[in-house]
Chains A and B, each alone.
Chain A
Amino acid sequence: MQMKQVAGAAFSFFAAGLLMSGVTQTTVHAASSDKNETYERIQKTHKMNWGVKGDTKLMGLMNIESGKLEGFDIDMAKEITKRVDPKAKVELTQITSGTRVPMLLNGNIDSIIATMTITPEREKVVDFSEPYFNAGQSLLVKNSSDVKNIKDLDRKGARILGVQGSNSIENVKKFAPKARIVALPDYATALTALQSGQGDALTTDNGILYGMAVDNKGVKVVGGTFTTEPYGIAVDKDNPKLVKAINDAVDDMKSDGTYDKLAKKWFNDVPGMDWKEVAK
């Protein structure tokens, strides 16, 4: 009799799960079905809510002293907002690589500018602007490490640290198929894990890695880049007006020198980094 009860209970939970999954999917789609919905919302409410990083030095970092978010992506978000809707207030929401797409699809944020590489898989779920930054995947290792480049990691027993939801952990499988991937929730944890010897190298885009190396004397960027990672600004699907407005804004910033000014401001003093390389 006990077994019957167990099986019955398990089945009813299973059924409830199926039911719930159907319900939620419908609501998600309903919320994003209107064309140009996000653009119109921005024009109406005069608020543009950006999903930005809070743990990535140089790109998007929460300054603990001032309590403000700072970085190249943050400045870009402010400048773009000015050009999309001069009256709009910039709102910044901290996201991680793992939470950004769900939050955009649920309508918590209007757009993402958060070291997000344009990939075909992501283009199926969100719309991207033209690339605004050209990063490339690289490696961060401890100063004492023998690892020179990605080939040194293509061996059994090698552990490569990354961040859940970043495409760098998918990419690196192609370059070092024998290594094991250790994916952590955010970059701060991943860096701590590298310093504690939980992995042989931390991989992600060079822009992010240089930011880590600036602050931490014990680690260095090695091996150059082994992929190209064009960053785009992501918005919910079916928002051609917003994508166009963002593209126009970026073009505008490039022609009036604002873009170069921002790139210089953030990347000029970073050792080993050529801001003209990434900011194209």
Chain B
Amino acid sequence: MWSLFTSHASEFLTGFGWTILSSVIALIGSTILGLGFALLQIVPNRWANLVGKIYIEIVRNIPLLVITMFFYVVVANIFKLNGFISGTIGLTLYTSAFIAETIRAGINAVDSGQYEGGRANGMSWWETMRYIVLPQAIHLVIPPLGNQFVNLIKNSSVLAFVAGLDLMYQANMISQLTFDTFNPYIIVAIFYLMLTMPLSYYMRYLEEKNAH
């Protein structure tokens, strides 16, 4: 296994790099989008609630691969999107729906007295959210959010289907070049663990820190 790694080190490391890049972009993008759609679902405006709900229900109930292929073969007719970009967009949108639900659940879990207290003290809806409710919600959603981030990294393997150059893609290529169908995937699994395990542990650490 070690010799396979050394002889294809540059491919593995390239794949590792693209996987990290895609994951980081999707992580930032989906967190921002997810927060946005979570707020859209709870603002005191029925139309905004509806838009948020429709987005989340559609996106989270379609397989990630379908969303990705949609961008790779349909949207690509209009905008130039290569496999990496299509995959990263798919990953971002898909994860954002789950993150939105997670954050919304966290906001709902904050005692309604907190919100009422904010409003009773003359704060606007937005100020109440910004200074009273969201800071408390964040503590509550860190563990489930960590799960979503770990899922996001694992799901980035969808890039392999659209030639996104990621770890899984490189593993497929190496395995088919060398006819070794086992070791490339073990190596890739270790690379994924190198990303997901520290993240899991860090999330657990944050959780413990916040518990006290």
A173-197: contact bitstring with B at CB < 8 Å (1 yes, 0 no)?
0000000001111000100110111
Query: In the complex, what's the smallest C-beta–C-beta distance from A127 to chain B, in angstroms?
Result: 14
Chain A residues within an 8 Å CB radius of B173: 164, 183
B193-211: contact bitstring with A at CB < 8 Å (1 yes, 0 no)?
1100110011001000000
Partner of A198, one of B76, B190, B202: B76
* 8 Å CB interface, B28-83 against A: 72-74, 76-77, 80, 82-83
Query: In the complex, what's the smallest C-beta–C-beta distance from A69 to chain B, in angstroms?
Result: 23
| A2-B73 contact given A9-B197, A17-B189, A184-B163, CB 8 Å threshold | no
| A14-B72 contact given A6-B201, A165-B176, CB 8 Å threshold | no
Chain A residues within an 8 Å CB radius of B1: 17-18, 21
Partner of B163, one of A21, A98, A182: A182
Taken together as a complex, chains A and B put the C-alpha atoms of A9 and B193 apart, in Å, by: 10
Chain B residues within an 8 Å CB radius of A189: 161
A34 within 8 A of B: no
Partner of A192, one of B73, B181, B186: B73
**B183 A21 Cβ-Cβ under 8 A:** yes
Query: In the complex, what's the smallest C-beta–C-beta distance from B71 to chain A, in angstroms?
Result: 10
* 8 Å CB interface, B159-199 against A: 160-163, 169, 172-173, 176-177, 179, 181-183, 186, 189-190, 193-194, 197-198
Taken together as a complex, chains A and B put the C-alpha atoms of A101 and B193 apart, in Å, by: 28
Residues of A in contact, count (CB < 8 Å): 36
**B76 A197 Cβ-Cβ under 8 A:** yes
| A13-B74 contact given A25-B182, A98-B176, A101-B179, CB 8 Å threshold | no
**Which B-chain residue is minimally distant from A166 (CB atoms)?**
B176
A125 within 8 A of B: yes
**B72 A196 Cβ-Cβ under 8 A:** yes
Partner of A21, one of B182, B193, B205: B182
Chain A residues within an 8 Å CB radius of B182: 21, 24-25
Taken together as a complex, chains A and B put the C-alpha atoms of A24 and B185 apart, in Å, by: 13
**Which B-chain residue is minimally distant from A17 (CB atoms)?**
B186
**A125 B193 Cβ-Cβ under 8 A:** no
A5 within 8 A of B: yes
A1-15: contact bitstring with B at CB < 8 Å (1 yes, 0 no)?
010011001100110
**Which A-chain residue is minimally distant from B4 (CB atoms)?**
A21
Chain B residues within an 8 Å CB radius of A182: 82-83, 163
Chain A residues within an 8 Å CB radius of B201: 2, 5-6, 9
| A196-B190 contact given A6-B198, A125-B179, A164-B173, CB 8 Å threshold | no
Taken together as a complex, chains A and B put the C-alpha atoms of A10 and B198 apart, in Å, by: 9
Chain A residues within an 8 Å CB radius of B181: 101-102, 105
Taken together as a complex, chains A and B put the C-alpha atoms of A24 and B197 apart, in Å, by: 25
**B179 A198 Cβ-Cβ under 8 A:** no
B98-115: contact bitstring with A at CB < 8 Å (1 yes, 0 no)?
000000000000000000
Query: In the complex, what's the smallest C-beta–C-beta distance from B185 to chain A, in angstroms?
Result: 10
Chain B residues within an 8 Å CB radius of A185: 160-161, 172
**A17 B190 Cβ-Cβ under 8 A:** yes
5 contacts between A and B (CB under 8 A): A105-B179, A183-B163, A185-B161, A196-B72, A196-B73
Task: Return the 9 tightest CB-CB contacts between A and B, nearest first.
Answer: A165-B176, A102-B181, A196-B73, A182-B163, A196-B76, A17-B186, A125-B179, A192-B73, A164-B172
Apart from A2-B205, A183-B169, 18 more pairs, CB < 8 Å:
A2-B202, A17-B1, A21-B1, A21-B186, A164-B176, A170-B177, A182-B163, A183-B163, A184-B162, A185-B172, A189-B161, A192-B73, A193-B73, A193-B162, A193-B163, A195-B73, A196-B73, A198-B72
Chain B contacts to A: CB under 8 angstroms: 1, 72-74, 76-77, 80, 82-83, 160-163, 169, 172-173, 176-177, 179, 181-183, 186, 189-190, 193-194, 197-198, 201-202, 205
